[in-house]
Amino acid sequence: MDNLLLWTILLPLLTAVVCALLPVKVSKIVAVASTVVGLLLACLIYERFIPEALNGFQMVLRVPWITRYQINFALGVDGLSLPLLLLSKFIMPIALLASWGITNHARVLTICFLVLDAAMAGTFLATDIFLFYIFWEFVLIPMILIIGVWGSSERIYAALKFFLVTFAGSLLMLVAIFWLYTSYHAQFGTYTADIASLGYIKFSTDPVLWGLTAQEWVFLAFALAFCIKVPLFPLHTWLPDAHTQAPTGGSIILAAVLLKMGTYGLLRFCVPLTPDAFARFSPIIAVLGLVGIVYGAWVAFQQEDAKRMVAYSSVSHLGFIVVGICALSPEALSGAVLQMVNHGLSTGGLFLLVGILYDRRHTRKLSEFGGLAKVIPWYAFFLVLISCSSMGVPGLNGFVGEFLILLGTFQTHPLWATVAVSGVVFAAVYTLVMLRAVIWGPVKNEENLSVKDINPREAFLLGVLSLFIVWLGVAPQSLLGKIKPSLDVYWSQNSGNRETASVILPPRDSVEGEAGPRE
Amino acid sequence: MRDGLFIAFGILTILGGLGVVVARHAIFSAFSMVIAFFGLSALYVLWGSNFIAMLQILIYTGAIVVLFVFVVMLLDLKKESSLDTGSGLAVMLSGATVWFFSLLILRAMNRGSYFASEKVLVSQDMRVISHLLFTKYLWPFEILSLFLLALIIGVCVLARPDSKEGPHK
Amino acid sequence: MQVVLFGLILIPLLGAILNGLVLRSKHTRVAGGIATACSAACFLLALSLSLNYFETGTPLSAALPWMSAGPFVLNWGLRFDALTLVMTLVITGIGTLIHLFSIGYMDEEKSPYRYFAYLNLFLSAMLLLVLGDSLPVLFVGWEGVGLCSYLLIGYWYEDIDKANAGMKAFVMNRIGDAAFLLGVFICYQQFKSVTFTEMAHLTATSNSLSVWWLEMAALCLFVGATGKSAQIPLFTWLPDAMAGPTPVSALIHAATMVTAGIYLVARTAFLFQVSPDVSQWMAYTGAFTALFAATIALVQKDIKKILAYSTVSQLGLMFVALGVGAYSAALFHVMTHAFFKALLFLAAGAIIHGLHGEQDIFKMGGLRKHFPLTFLFSSIAVAAICGLPPFSGFFSKDAILFAALASPTGDVLLWGVASLASLLTAFYMTRFYLLIFFGDYRGEAHPHEGSALLWIPLAVLAVGSAFAGLVGMPHGLHMLPDYFGQLLSPVLPAWQETHAFLGEIGAMSVAVAVAALGIGTAFVIYRKGTGTGEKLARAFSPLYKLLLGKWYIDELYELTIVLPFKALCRFSSRIIDRAIDVTVLFPARLARVGGTALSLVQVGAVQVHLWIMVLGGLVLLWWALRGLVV
Amino acid sequence: MNNLVNQFFVPLSPILAIVLSAIGVTILECFPKVSLQRAKFALSCFGVLCSLACTLFLWREGIGAPTAEALSVAPTWLAEFHEQYRLDIFSLAFFFAAGVFTLISLILVHFHFTHREGPREIYLLVLFVSMGIYFLISANSLLILFLALELLSLPSYILVGAQKGDHKGAEAALKYFLFGSFATVLLVLGMAFLYSNYGTLHLTTLAKRIADYLAYANSPPEMLIFTLAAIALLIVAGGFKVGLAPFHMWVPDTYEGASTPVTAFMGSAVKLAGFALLARLFWGVLLPLSDRWVVMLNALAVVSMFWGNLAALKQDNLKRLFAYSSISHAGYLILALTSVSAGGAPQFEALYYYLFTYGLTFLGFFAAVSFIEMHEKTTNIYELSGLGFSKPWLGACVALLVLSAAGIPPTAGFLAKYLVFLEAIKAGHTITVILAVVSSLIGAYYYLRILVYLYMKEGKTELTLARKQPLLLGVIVFTALSMLVLAAFPKLF
Amino acid sequence: MIPIPSTLAQWSHYIAACLFALGLFGFLIRKNGIVVLMCIELMLNALNLFLVEVSMRSSHPEGIIFVIFIITVAAAEAAVGLGIILNLYRLKGSVHVDLFKSLKG
C-alpha cells in the first residue's frame, strides 16, 4: 500500500465515500483538501520520477486480478503519463473550487468530481490495457452527470451526445483490444494485457477486409476512439455542446484533462502497438488535424457564445497536438506532450473566466458584454493574460508547446507545419475578437455596470493558473527535462525500424521480468 | 387387412384433426378431437403399442376432451357466425408458413435415417414399460409426481374465484 | 556582468509588474516616476555595458535554460554586441525621454499605472528582442512588443475604433510572425541550431546547406519583418496604430518597435547575404513602400497620420539599404530616424496636448507663436527628415541613396524611386511644417505650450536629431571617420562600392537638390495657408481622392481578404458544422426509426407474435436442412 | 445406510432442501383460515438457504457425485439414478445462481404481495419453478429436461396470471402460455428427432453416439438430417425460453403484464434455466456439430441484440424497457454460448459470470421498480425523476445497476460483457462481436435515459417511505454492491 | 415378431405430419382460445404418433416412456391453459384471443 500511484486513485475514491457521509459544507472542504493532497502526491511522484531510468514504467504496481486471462491491476508512470497526471491532479482542486458556488446537490457534485479524479488518474497510470479501458470508460459516468445535472438549459441533450459519441468510439476500441489480446495468445500461447507486451505482436501483412490488414483495422479502431475524444475534425461536434452546457468545473476538466485522454491514447497505443498502420494513416490523421486547426479557428471566430468559442478553439489547439504526434519527431513529440498540459491550463483558465462571467450575468453571449475592462479590471487582466497563453504569445506556456510542435513537424513534414502555422494567425483573430467583445469598447449594456470583479477565491484560482502559465512559458524545462529521456526513448522506439532502436536501448522486458512475452 | 385398417384410421384421424380446425363451434371441435384421438389410438394398436392406445383413450378422450367440453359448456359460448380465423391474409400467410414447415418436417422424416430399421415389431407390453418406469425412469417419474403436485396447486390458484383476501388479512 | 544582461530585461519588467499589478497608482507622477526610473536605470545599464564593450571589444553573453526536446536545446540566451549596443542605447535612451514626456502628456489620465506598465513591458520586450541571441528568443521580444503595441494602441479601449486598431495591428503582425516562425523552422532544419552566432558560422563554413532553403528562410524572415516594420503588403496597420497615445506612437510606432524588422534583417544578414534574390526583392519592396507611403502622406490632414505614413516611407528606405547590403547604413538611419521621428511625434503630441486633442493640421496654423519651443525643435526635426545638411537625416538618408545606386545589387531605378520618395518627403514635411506653424490659426481650441516635462525630452531629442548624423559621416566628405560603420563592422557585413554614374559627393548633391526641390515646391504652395493646396486638390480631384483614401488599400483588403474570410467562417460555422453534426447524429436518428418500426411489429395480437416465431423457426429449419432436403 | 447418505442424499441435497421446504409450505397451505404468509415465506427462504448451503458444501467437498467405482458396487437403482441425475461443476454453479435468484425473488414477492392482493400459494409456486430449474440443471436425459422444463413453465404461467382481476396479468399469462406450450411442442419434436436418429434419451449416451456418428468417416449427410432439424427446433424452443429474437415476442408483453417480482424472477432464474437447457444440449450433446449451430445461434444473437436494443429505445414503462433489454442480453449470452472454437472446450466461465451478474442486475433493478411501484402505483420511467437526489442511496444503487446492465465500467456488467466478447473473438466471431458492440452502443442510450431521469429531471414529489423495508432495500443495496464486488473480485467465481 | 406393414412404415409419419400441420394451422388462425388449446393437443398427439412409430420400429421402449410423459404433461397443460382461458373469460366475457392485445409496442 505504499505505492504512490495507487494512492492517487484510491485517495479520491475514499474521499468520495467519506464525503457521502459528511455534511455538505464539510464535504466540500474535505474534497478540496483531498485533491490538494492528491496534487501533493502527484508532486511527490514528479519528484521521485527518475528521468534517466529509460526502461518503461516506474513505480510499477501489479496486483493479479483476473488471473485466468492474466489481467492485472497494473499501474506505472512514464514520461508520457507524468505530465498528464500532474495536470489532472492540478486541475482538480481548481475545478472543485470553481464549482464552489453551486448549491444544488453540491455533495453529489463533489463526489462526481472525486470519482472523476480517480478515473482520470487511473486512465493515465494504467499499464494494463483492460484496466485502462475500464478507467477510460468510467470517466464518462461522472462527466455526464456533471454535464447533465449541473449544466445549462440543453444539458441533457449535450450529456447524452457526449456520452454516446465518445462511447461509440471506445466500443470499437474494445473490439480491437480483444483482437490484440487473442492474437497475443495465438502467437505466444499465453495471455497478457500488459500494454508494453502487446507491442510484441507480429501482424500479418495480408489484407483481411477491404484491402486493409489486421494491424490497420486495429489501428483504426483505436484511432477512432481517441480521435473522437480529442476531438479530431469531423468528429468534434459533441465538444461544443458538451462544453457549452457543462458547468464551469466540468468544462474545465473536460477541456483540460478529458480531451488529453485522446491524444494520450494515440501516443500510448496507436503509435507503439500498430507502428506500420500508424505510418500509413498518420498523414490522414495529420491532415484532419490540420483541417481542425484551421477549421476550428474559423468556426470559433463565428461563435456568439463565449463557451462555444473556447470549445472550438480547443478543436484548433488539439489539432496542433495531433499534428505533432503524427509528425513523430522528437521535438514535436515533446511539444505535443507539453502542449497537452499547456492547453489544459490555458483553456481551463478560459473556461473558468467564462464561468465567472456567467455567474454574474447568467449569459455567455458575447454581444451582451463589452467594455468590461473598465468595470472589472482584474478580470480583464486575467482574461488578457490567459487569452495570450491560448493564442501562443511567447513567454507564456502556449507558445512553448506550439513552437516545439511546429518546429518538430517542420523537420519531418514542412508542408504540415506551414499549414499549421496559419492557425497561429487565426488563433489571434478569434481570441482578439473575443477580447474586443468582452472587455474592450464602451459599456453598452447597463447591466454590465454592476458586475462585480473577481472575488478572492476566483482570484486565487486564476492566480495559480496564471502562475503556472507563466512558469511553463519561462521555464518549461522543469517539466520537459523530466520527461525528455523518456520521450527520446519513446521516439527512438517508434520511429523507423524497431531493431536499431532495440540495439541502442536495453530491451523493454529486461527490467520488468513479467513484461515480455512468456513461454 | 392391417393396411386397410391403417388407411381407414389414418384418414379418420386426419378428418378429426381437420374438424378441430374448421369447426365453427368449439364443441364441434371437441367432438372432432374425440374422433381424431380415437383414430390415433387405433393407429397405436396397429403399431402394436396397446398400452399407449389405452392411455390415449383413457386420458385424452376420457379426461382431456371431457375437460374441454366441460369448459366449453361452462362458458356458454355462442355459436359464431363465421369461422373465427381473422383476416384472409393472415390465414394465407399462416397456411403458407405451415405448408412449408410441414414440408420440411416431412421431407426430413422421409430422408432422415432412423437409428434402427429392423422391419419387425416387438410388443411393448405394460410389463416392460412399468418395469422401466419403476427402475430406470424412476427419477423422472418422481419428478412427474412433483409436477402434478405443482399442477394441482397451480390450477387451484387459477381456478379459485376472485378472493378479496389479501395474504396478511 | 552577465546577470546585468538579464537585468536589462527584468528591470522594466519589474517596473511593469510594480505599476500594473502592485501599486496601481492613479497618480500619473507616481506611476510615471516609477516607469521612468526603470527606464532610466536601463539606460544607465546599457550605457555602462556599452562602455564596457568599447573597452573590451568583445560581446557579452548570458544564458539560462529554456527548453529542450530531443536534439533541440534552447536557452534564454542574451548577447550584447555592437548591433545590440546601438539598438539598446536608442531604445533605452529615447524610451526614457518618452517616459518622461508621457508623465506630462498623460497627466489627466484615470489609470496611468496601466499606461506606464504597458510602456515598461514594452521596453522589456524590446530589449529582449535586441538582446536575444537566437531567433526564438528574439521572437519572444518580437511578439512581446507586438502585444504591448496592441495594448497601447487600444489603451483608450472605450473607443471601439481604437480597440479595433490595436487588433488590426496585432493580426497583421501575426501574419508576419507566422512567416517568421517558418523562417525559424527552416533555420533549425538547415543549421540544427537557432542561435545567430552558430548559424552565421555554419553559413560561412558548412557546405551541406541548401541554398534554396536558406533563401526561403530569408524570405520568411523578410515577410516577418514586413509585418513588424509596416512594409507592403502589411503596412496598413501602422497609420491606424496612431489611435494610441502620441508618446506611444513616438516610441513604438516610430522609434523602436517598427525598426525591429530592420534589426531582424540586419541580425540575420548572413542569410540575406546568400540570398541575393530575396535581398533584391527586399530593396524594391522597401523602395516602393517608401514612395507609396510618401504619396499618401502628401494629402493627409491628420497630424499623426502624416507622421505615420512618413514612418512607413522611412522604413521603406531602410529596407532599400538592407536590400542592397548596406546594413550599417540602414541601422544608421534607424538611429537618426529614431531621433527625428520621435521628436516629430513628441512635438505633435505636445501640440495635440496643447490643442486639447485637435489633430487636423488644417485646423492649426500659426502655432509658432503659441508653441515657440516646440516650433524650434520641430524645425530641426523637419530639417533632418528632409535631409538638409548637416542634420542627422541628411547623412543617413544620403548613405542609403548612395548605396542604392552604387551597391552591386542596387541600380538606378532603385535610386530613382528612393530619391523620388525623398523628394516627396521633403514636400509633405514642409507642408506639415508650414500648415502647423505658419499662416493664421484656423482652429477653435485655445493653444498653450506644455510643461517642462513635455519640452525637455524634445530638447534632448532635438540635439540628437541635429547631431547624431555626425557619428556616421560618409567617407566622401573626409571630415570625420565613420564611427558608426566601424562600430558595427564586426557584426554586419559591409557593402562593396561599385562604380556608378555618380560618385558619393555627386549623389549627395543630388539628394540635397531633391530635398531643396521638395521644400521649395511645398513652400510655394503652402506659404499662404491652405488655399493653393485646395485649388490643386480640386484640379487633380481624382488623384487627390485616391491619395486621401490611401489608395483604398484598406478597402481593397477588406473586400478581398476580410470579407471572404468572414464569409468562409460563417459558411464553416453555419453550414459545414451543421452538416457534420447531422451526419454524425444520423445513426442515432436511424436507430430511433428502427425502434419505432420494431415497436410497430409488436402489435399485441398473440397469433401474429406466434406467426413471427414460427417464421423464425422455419428459417432456422430451412437453414439447417438446406442442401439436404430442400 | 452410509452409502445411501453419501451417494443419494448428499448429492441430491440442494434439490431435496427445496423439495422439502415446498412440501412443508404445501402442508401450511392446508390451513387456509390462518394467515401463515410469514411462516411460508420464512420456510421457503429457509429451504433455499439450505439448498445454497448444501451447494456450497458440495462445492467445497469436491462436487460430491459418486465415482464410477463407487457406483459399480452400489445398488442398481442408485447407479440408475446417477445416470439420470448429473452433478458436475456446471450443475453446482447453476444451482448456486438459481438459489440466489430464487431467494431474492422470494424477498421481492414477499414485499410485493404484502402490500397488495395475491394468491396465498405464491411462495409455493415460486418454489416449484425453482425446483424445476434445479431439475433442469441437473438433468441428464432429454426426458428430464422436458419434464423439468414443464415443471418450471406451468407454475410460471400461473405466477404471471396470479393476480386476480388484473387484465394485464391475465393477458400476459395467455401469451406466455401459448408461446410456452408451442415451444414445448417444438422441443418435444426436436427431442423426438434426436431420439429417432440415435435411439436414446440419455444425454451422455446421446453425446457419445453423435460423436461416433461424426467420427464414422463414411457417414452420409442424410444421417444428420434429424439431428440438424432437431438443432433448429431446439434453438427455437430454447430461444423462446431465454427470449431470443424472433422467438421473444412474448417477453415484453409478459414481463410488463406480470407482477413486478414475478417478472424479476422470470428475467433472472427462468432465464438461467433457459440457458442451462441450451448449454446442456448444445455444449453437452451437440458440441461436435458446433459448426452447424454456431452460425444459426450467432445470427439469432445479433438479431436479438439489435431487436431488443432498438425496440427498447421507445419504451417508457420500466418493465417493458427491461424486457427488451433482457432480449438484447439474451443475444449477448448466446454469444457466450457460441464461443466454442473448433475442437475447443466451451467457456463456461464467461456464460456463467454474465448470467449471474445479469440476473443480479435484473433482480436489483426490479426490486427498485417494486419499491417505486409501491409508492407511485406505476412503473413508468417518469416515476424515477429526481430519485437520485431525493433518495441518494437508492438512486445511486439504481444507477449502478443500470450502468451494469449497460455494461459500463467499472461494473460487473462490463466485465461480463468483456469476457463474453473476448471469448467470442477467440472463437473467431469478430464480425458478430463488432455488431454486438454496436448494438450495446444503441442500448447505452436507453440505460442512460434511466440515468437521466434519476439525476437530471426534476422529481414531481418527494418520495416518502410508507414503511421501513429493510429486506427490499437490502436486496437493492446488495445487488448494487455486488456489481462492484463481482467486478473487483471476479475470482470469487 | 411381426413384420412391419409397408404402408404403416411409409405413411405413418405422413399422418403425424398432417396432424401436426393441421394443429399448427389451427393454432395460428383460430381465435377461439379453447380451440387454440385443442390445436396444441393435436400437435402433441402428432408427436406421440411419431414417437410411437420410432419406438416400435426400433423395438426400443424409451419412446413409449416418453409418450407416457408427454400425455401426462399434455393433460396438465390443457388444465392450466383452460384455467388461464377461464380467467380471461371472467374478465372479458369472451375467449376470443384477439381481444387481448392491450400489451403491445
Inter-chain contact B97–C608, Cβ cutoff 8 Å? no
What sign does the dihedral D88-D90-D91-D96 (CA atoms) show? positive
| B 5-34 → E contacts, CB under 8 A | 6-7, 10, 13-14, 17-18, 20-21, 23, 26, 29-30, 33
- Which DSSP category does B79 fall into? P
Residue D1: Cβ-neighbour burial (10 angstroms; 0-12, 13-18, 19+): exposed
Residue C566, amino acid: K
Phi, psi torsion values for A23, nearest 5 degrees: -60, 155
8-state DSSP, C438: S
**The three cell numbers locating residue E30:** 383460430
* H helix or E strand, kind and range, residue C60: strand C60-69
Q: pLDDT value at position E31? A: 86
Dist CA A263 CA A314 (whole Å):
13
**Cβ–Cβ < 8 Å for A440, C154:** yes
Angle at C564 between CA C560 and CA C568, to 5 degrees: 160
What is the DSSP secondary structure assignment for residue C6, as one 8-state letter? Answer: H
CB proximity D196 to E under 8 Å: yes
- Name the band, by pLDDT with cuts 50, 70 and 90, for residue C499: confident
Please give the residue that has the higher pLDDT: either C540 or D116: C540
Quick check: E71 and B146 in contact, CB under 8 A?
A: no
Close Cβ partners of A454 (under 8 Å, ≥ 6 residues apart): A356, A376, A378, A379, A382, A462
Averaged confidence pLDDT in chain C: 89
**Which residues does D282 contact at the CB level (< 8 Å), separation at least 6?**
D234, D290, D293, D297, D337
Residues A55, A61, A65, A67, Cα dihedral to 10°: 40
Q: Measure Cα distances from D467 to D112, D367, D459, D471 in Å.
A: 13, 15, 21, 12
Q: Which chain D residues have a beta carbon less than 8 Å from that of B165?
A: 117, 120
User: Is the model's pLDDT at C263 over the cut of 70?
Assistant: yes
Residue A453 gets which letter from DSSP? P
Do the chains contact at A487 and C151, CB–CB below 8 Å?
A: no
Decide if D201 contacts E66 (C-beta within 8 A).
Answer: yes
D455 secondary structure, DSSP code? I
The reported pLDDT for the residue numbered B167 is 44
**DSSP SS3 for A64:** strand
Mutate to test the interface with D, among A22, A135, A167, A171 (most CBs of D within 10 A): A171
Other Cβ atoms closer than 10 A to C590: 12
Chain D residues 155-184 with CB within 8 Å of chain E: 157-158, 161, 164-165, 167-168, 170-175, 177-178, 181-182, 184
Instruction: Give the pLDDT of residue B166.
Output: 45
Identify the pLDDT of residue A462.
93
Q: Best residue in B51, B119, B136, B163 to probe E by mutation, most E CBs within 10 Å?
A: B119
**CB contact (8 A) between residue E31 and residue C607:** yes
Neighbour tally for C444: CB within 10 Å: 9
Instruction: Give dist(CA C106, CA C146) in Å, integer.
Output: 22
pLDDT the model gives residue D332: 93
Q: Is the pLDDT of residue C436 over 60?
A: yes
pLDDT at D341: 67
Task: Express each pLDDT in C612-628 by its tens digit.
Answer: 999 999 999 999 888 88
DSSP letter, residue B161: P
> What kind and span of H or E run contains C74?
strand C72-80
For chain D, give the mean pLDDT.
87
Tell me, what's the pLDDT at A515? Answer: 40
With H, G, I as helix, E, B as strand and everything else as coil, classify residue D287. helix
Residues in chain E: 105
Distance between CA atoms of residues B71 and B62, nearest Å = 14
- What pLDDT, on the 0 to 100 scale, is given for residue A507? 42
Mean pLDDT of C489-502: 80
Distance from CA of C582 to the nearest CA of E (A): 28
A448 DSSP 8-state letter: G
Judging by DSSP bridges, how do beta strands C72-80 and A212-213 pair with one another?
unpaired
Q: What is the pTM of this model?
A: 0.90
Interface of B with E in 57-96 (CB under 8 A): 59-60, 63-64, 67-68, 71-72, 74-75, 77, 80, 84-86, 90-91, 94-95
Give me the pLDDT at residue C182, please.
93
Count of C-beta atoms within a 10 Å radius of residue D458: 7
Lookup: cell for B111: 430422408
C-alpha cell at B122: 416387438
Nearest Cα neighbor of D417 from D443, D446, D397 is D443
Mutant choice from B104, B105, B107, B110 vs C, greatest count of C C-beta within 10 A: B104
Sites in chain D below the pLDDT cut of 70: 1, 63-65, 217-218, 341-344, 460-468, 492-493
Q: Containing H/E element for C61?
A: strand C60-69
Residues of chain B where predicted confidence (pLDDT) is lower than 70? 77-85, 116-124, 161-169
What pLDDT shows up at residue C408? 83
Spans in chain A with pLDDT lower than 50? 497-519
The candidate with the shortest Cα–Cα distance to D283, out of D187, D200, D349, is D349
Strand partners, C337: none
Mean pLDDT of C301-314: 91
Among chain E residues, the shortest Cα distance to B48 is held by E56
DSSP for C235-248, written as a single string = -THHHHGGGS-HHH
For D268, half-sphere exposure in the C-beta direction (CA atoms, 13 angstrom radius) is 36
**Torsions phi, psi for A70 (to 5 deg):** 55, 35
Helix (H) or strand (E) holding C169: helix C160-191
In this predicted structure, what is the pLDDT of residue A512?
A: 42
Task: Please write the tens of the pLDDT for every residue from C323-335.
Answer: 998 898 899 999 9
Is E7 close to B56, i.e. CB distance below 8 A? no
Cβ-defined contact of A424 to C178 (cutoff 8 Å): yes
- The values of phi and psi at residue C383, to 5°, are -60, -40
pLDDT given for residue A374 in this prediction = 87
C202, pLDDT greater than 80:
yes
